[in-house]
Structure formats: structure tokens, C-alpha cells
A and B are shown apart, each in its own frame.
Chain A
């Protein structure tokens, strides 16, 4: 039985292993997922906390306490407001490189509240290892929505660059959720000016 089984296992044993880069890539992907989930949980906690504070009756005015420290987390592409100067993905610190051009915005056919924002190609990190494009909703009201796109780069002295074996193409299209139908509202692109890009 031993010989038969050994022969059987031998026949199913490949000659050699595939490149180790696949394992490294899977490890990186797992770390990234972990941080996305952590960031999502942190966002829910912050939003829930904020809602609780808003819902509470206001206390008598008094001296304000110390400003709480803000921990840098991976920005959620759905988030509103100005982009963070930096965030972390896994142990990789990403720094804001600057605003980039929004080339087109279309309404996602699958959802009346979702926009597909096209941005310019990344000429510096053509194949980044980590997500480096973020679109933010800077403001929105009954008549208009303003969106802007930003690109980040890996901070100096980070390991991610040379460990990056399987690169992906930098995204040129990002979906954002307005959390309400766009309707006939005008979409302005960029943090300043009035460049109308939709409606």
C-alpha cells in the first residue's frame, strides 16, 4: 500500500513551484483588504459618534477641551471634504502629490446617485502597487456638486516600491456615491473655478 500511495502522490507532485511573487502579491492584497475594512469600520464609528453628538441636546457653553488627535487612515473614495495630506495602506505611508484633472464625469447607469469620474493618467507612477487615486466630493447642495481628484505617492523610505512585483495600472476612472440622486444638479470639476463637466 505504501508504494502504491507514494507513487500516486509522486504523480500528483508538480516539478516546481510557481514564482514566489504570487504569494507576496496575495499577502499584500490581504493586508490591503484588512486596512480597507478597518477604515470602513472607523468611518462607521466616527459617523455614528457624530450622529450621537448632533442628536444630543447642547450643553451650556464652557471652555473647550484639547483638540483630539487625528489618525491618518486610508481615505475612502466616497468621502466628502478636502483630501487628507497623508494616509497609510498597510505599513506604507502615502503622501498627497496634488490635485489632478478630472477629464469627464458620467452618471453611473446602475445608480442615479453614483458618478463615474474619469481622471488623467498617472505619468509618474504608471503602475503603482497601492491605490493612489482619490476622488472627493468637495461640496454639494440642491443646485450643484463639486468634485476633485487627487493623486498620492509613496512616501520616501517606504519598502513598498521595491517589494512591488505585480504592479497594476493606475486607475483612470473612480466611482463616487453622492448618497442622493444627482437629478439635474450641475457637476463642477476641480477645487476652484466653475468648470462644468455634467448638466
Chain B
């Protein structure tokens, strides 16, 4: 495949998928800067491996999987660092819950782990089935199901929504 064609193909996919990927990554808990950095890394990798990945059914899924996995492990490391710092310097201010009747989705999501946020966003927003999430995050389907259940259990009262699922 010619270099120009490869760049044009990846550029088209990038323009189409980047905005939603950033929305997903920021919602999972990254800062906008983190999200853009992780997304750029994923597209750089895609550019380097396009000859292989273009044959996949859904190249967008590949980029999203790489970006989400990278972000989740980055958030996990940040969480470990924050806990270690808290042990050294004493506990910081507790995270406040939603105020009054306001449905503060951000505050609610902040109460669950990055791993749980990832499965919740991929399942409820991106409409991905459990099997696909398991594949993208390289997890057993059972783990995805349990994370989803725990996340729903934690989020339902905070979002004041009755879950039937």
C-alpha cells in the first residue's frame, strides 16, 4: 500500500472517530489533556500498523481499545500514587456526592473505579455488548459483567434512577 493512501485512510478514520473517542476517554475519567495524549498515541500506533489493521472488521474498535486500556492503566497508576501520597501527608478532602436534586453525573462516576467507568461508558453509551467489551479490554466476559453490575449498583442511587437491567 502506498504511503499516501495509508495516510489518507488513517486521516479519514481519525477525523470521523476522534471526537467521540475524546468524549469517551474524558467521561471515563481522564483530563482533556490526558485524553488527547492517549488518543494521539493510539492513532500513531494505528498509522504504523495500518496495513494489518485496515483488514479488521472495525479498525475504530482497535483504536478505542488501545486508547481505553492505556487510559485505564494510567488512571490506576494515578490512583495508586494518590493513595500513597495520602498515606504520607494525611487524607485529603473527601469527594462530595451530588448536591440536592441535581444529577451530577460527574460526581457519581467519580465514586466508581476507572475500570468500572470504562465498562459502563462502553456498554451504556457506545452500546457495545459485554463480549465485545471483554475483547477490547482483554478481560474475561465474567469480569466485565461483574464490573458492570457493581457500577450499576453504585450509580443507581446516585443518579436516582431505578435500574431494571
Contacts and interface: CB of A to CB of B under 8 A. Distances in A.
A26 B47 CA distance: 11
B127 to A, nearest CB: 9
Nearest to B156: A1
A4 B103 contact: yes
Interface stretch (B17-25, B53-61, B74-82, B134-142): B17-25
Q: Which of B18, B41, B44 has most A Cβ within 10 Å?
A: B44
Contact of B18 (A4, A12, A17, A24): A17
Interface string B17-56: 0111011101100000000000011011001100000000
Contacts of A15: 19
Contacts of B149: none
B124 A6 contact: yes
A1 B124 contact: yes
Interface residues of B, number: 34
A129 to B, nearest CB: 14
B3 A10 contact: no
Nearest to B14: A20
B147 interface: no
Contact of B19 (A4, A16, A20, A22): A16
B133 interface: no
B125 A5 contact: yes
A27 B48 contact: yes
Contacts of A12: 22-23, 26-27
Interface residues of A, number: 25
B4 to A, nearest CB: 9
The residue among A1, A12, A14 with the most chain B CB atoms within 10 A of its own CB is A1
Contact of A23 (B43, B103, B106, B152): B43
Contact of B44 (A1, A18, A26): A26
Contacts of B120: 5
A116 to B, nearest CB: 33
Given A9-B23, A17-B14, A26-B40, A1 B159 contact: yes
A159 B40 CA distance: 22
Q: Which has the most chain B C-beta neighbours within 10 Å: A13, A18, A22?
A: A13
A9 B125 contact: yes
A9 B47 CA distance: 26
B1 interface: no
Contacts of A103: none
Nearest to A14: B19
B22 A14 contact: yes
Contacts of B86: none
14 contacts: A1-B152, A1-B159, A4-B105, A5-B105, A5-B121, A8-B109, A9-B121, A13-B22, A14-B19, A20-B15, A23-B47, A24-B47, A159-B3, A163-B3
> A-B pairs with the 8 shortest C-beta distances?
A13-B23, A17-B18, A20-B11, A12-B26, A8-B105, A12-B23, A9-B27, A9-B23
